[in-house]
């Protein structure tokens, strides 16, 4: 998969994952360099579980808030960014 294709597929999953886990991407973007959104995006880009991620996201009810899946390299970060355990 080319880098632009990988970037597009992972970015789409990351956006959906943030919404599903109740994380405000705007707040993350203001956390400063080296933290927040950048850290999440880097871990997402390195992830090899994009198909499992899509299936997990597709199985979520619209507008539902869920705990991130254990296979996600950002699971702990998402839990922390959401502010509380779900």
pLDDT at position 4, please?
62
Share of the chain above pLDDT 70, in %: 80
How far apart are alpha carbons 37 and 31 in whole angstroms? 8
User: Total structural domains in the chain?
Assistant: 1
* Inter-residue long-range contacts of 73-76, CB under 8 Å, 24+ positions, other chains counted: 73/43, 73/44, 73/46, 73/47, 73/49, 74/14, 74/17, 74/40, 74/43, 74/44
Question: What range defines the domain where residue 22 resides?
Answer: 3-82
pLDDT at position 86, please?
38
pLDDT at position 33, please?
57
pLDDT at position 55, please?
95
- The CB-side HSE value for 59 (13 A sphere, CA atoms) comes to 9
Under a CB-based contact definition with an 8 Å cutoff, are residues 29 and 36 in contact? yes
Does pTM surpass 0.85? no
């Amino acid at each position: 998969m080319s880098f632009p294709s990988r970037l597009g597929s992972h970015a789409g999953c990351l956006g959906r994952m943030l919404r599903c886990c109740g994380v405000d991407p705007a707040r993350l973007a203001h956390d400063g360099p080296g933290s927040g959104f950048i850290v999440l995006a880097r871990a997402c880009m390195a992830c090899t579980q994009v198909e499992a991620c899509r299936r997990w996201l597709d199985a979520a009810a619209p507008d539902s808030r869920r705990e991130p899946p254990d296979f996600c390299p950002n699971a702990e970060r998402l839990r922390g960014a959401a502010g509380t355990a779900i």
